[in-house]
Structure 1
């Protein structure tokens, strides 16, 4: 009785365990949704971290000086939804041109468009008022939860850093610099919103949780759809 020849594994499958990526991605998404739900409950009942929201904003307001306010106003402008959307368009468009494929543009469009809808729906649904106006160091309108600056900056930076890592930046050193810089920017934008008195800390944390959840979902899905999980075939050398 002849034995069957071993079944060959398609090239790339051993190097790209999509089932594992999808599983890890699902865990991250669920964890971030759980974190957001916990923050939402605390904000609704004034418990947990929400108890320290107003004291934290008030304490930072007393620590302000002219130089810090000017610097963090610049940071908060960079992290605004409009600025972050423009950055996403520029980065994703440039990468798409570089690799001669539309995938980066699709990822950017779905990512930014989706997070915009999530931000608007959540703000309207929760309808949380901002900190008292006398604490504001910049003008701000609309609802407070979650922070639009935090949610957009985290989402755009996550997408752009991932796309740059996959298609442009090579080497551990440059990639390390890219990701450290990205994290610092996101943290700085979030801190600026609290320091300038227009958001509570839980607003920022909720924005980050939603951004990571949505960004992870978009990236995992797009990774599954890209043949080989790497460059479009036209860009391979």
Structure 2
């Protein structure tokens, strides 16, 4: 029986050195279909994540931020800022609807005018209101602190953070002030759209933002000299300052009682914006070009 020899003196379809055909070799010689093109994997889009996943991630970042090991330190101030903004909106609605939040305003006004400061005490109240809450006094302080930290750190991020907070106070305060137009207690009436600027208190907002931001710039985790002990002491000083300056501004008769905490809240919202900017991750530097030889 004749056998057709291949180039290597082996029968066609027969493995070299063997006398019987290899069934695997015969199958391998058959025409194979072209492989299907590979389908690239679909990336995990952020929009496909469920709300529970996002909530879990935010909660994890908040807990890690509390322990000082956060990889996303901007998440905590941003989240707190959103919550405080919602509370501030609630305060505005309370003023519009004359809700329980403003129920004690008239009682406090009567108490203030029955014990209104005179003489030297009135002068002292004017001076403390200017020093602790007037923007011509507070803006240079917080801008100076931001400029100092920026100079020592060799970057403008702290200065940008302060400017973002000041812009937040202006963006929230002026529309609400002029939009509501709440009259001052000096007028003897509590009216909206009366051309006033009582709500919220700009003095209280400036005090809260300036004092709190200076403490963060000096002793916070991204400050000039991070020191947890000094930071806690600074926060205690801020609380004491607000507890004293707020009622004194109300005692002067310039603001209703509810104007003060609304101003504080607006200042804290501005602090959250500043801290978000301060802790925002830096843009990754571009990778150097690869000059190596390619195969």
The answer to whether the superposition gives a TM-score over 0.5 is yes
Does 1:69 find its partner at 2:98? no
**May I ask how many residue pairs the two structures share in their alignment?**
210
* 1:186 CA drift (Å): 2.8
Question: How many angstroms apart in 1 are the aligned matches of 2:233 and 2:225?
Answer: 10
CA distance change for structure 1 residues 18 and 221 in 2, over 3 Å: closer, same or farther?
farther
Question: How many angstroms apart in 1 are the aligned matches of 2:117 and 2:186?
Answer: 19
- Residue in 1 aligned with 2:170? 116
CA distance change for structure 1 residues 18 and 209 in 2, over 3 Å: closer, same or farther?
farther
Does 1:32 find its partner at 2:84? yes
* 1:226 CA drift (Å): 4.9
- Residue in 2 aligned with 1:232? none
Q: Does structure 2 conserve the Cα–Cα contact (< 8 Å) formed by 1:157 and 1:186?
A: no
Question: How many angstroms apart in 2 are the aligned matches of 1:32 and 1:69?
Answer: 33
Q: Secondary structure at the match of 1:225?
A: coil
* 1:80 CA drift (Å): 0.9
- Residue in 1 aligned with 2:105? 53
Does 1:127 find its partner at 2:181? yes
- Residues 143-187 of structure 1, C-alpha deviations (whole Å, 9 max, x = no match): 111111111221222222111113334544433332222222233
Does 1:96 find its partner at 2:150? yes
Q: Does structure 1 conserve the Cα–Cα contact (< 8 Å) formed by 2:219 and 2:227?
A: no
* 1:81 CA drift (Å): 1.7
CA distance change for structure 1 residues 128 and 19 in 2, over 3 Å: closer, same or farther?
same
Question: How many angstroms apart in 2 are the aligned matches of 1:213 and 1:190?
Answer: 17
Does 1:159 find its partner at 2:213? yes
- Residues 100-127 of structure 1, C-alpha deviations (whole Å, 9 max, x = no match): 2212111111211231232111111221
Q: Does structure 2 conserve the Cα–Cα contact (< 8 Å) formed by 1:57 and 1:197?
A: yes
Q: Does structure 2 conserve the Cα–Cα contact (< 8 Å) formed by 1:169 and 1:175?
A: no
- Residue in 2 aligned with 1:42? 94
- Residue in 2 aligned with 1:218? 274
1:5-16 equivalence runs, <5 A = 16=69
Provide the TM-score with structure 1 as the length reference.
0.76
Greater helix share, structure number: 1
* 1:197 CA drift (Å): 0.5
Q: Secondary structure at the match of 1:185?
A: helix
If you compute each CA radius of gyration, which structure gives the higher value, 1 or 2?
2
- Residue in 1 aligned with 2:19? none
Question: How many angstroms apart in 1 are the aligned matches of 2:111 and 2:244?
Answer: 18
Higher normalized contact order (CA 8 Å, seq sep 6+, divided by chain length) = 1
Structure 2: segments with no counterpart, 5+ residues? 1-64, 190-194, 284-295
Question: How many angstroms apart in 1 are the aligned matches of 2:171 and 2:69?
Answer: 32
- Residue in 2 aligned with 1:193? 249
Question: How many angstroms apart in 2 are the aligned matches of 1:215 and 1:16?
Answer: 21
Match of 2:70 among 17, 21, 27: 17
- Residue in 2 aligned with 1:206? 262
1:142-153 equivalence runs, <5 A = 142-153=196-207
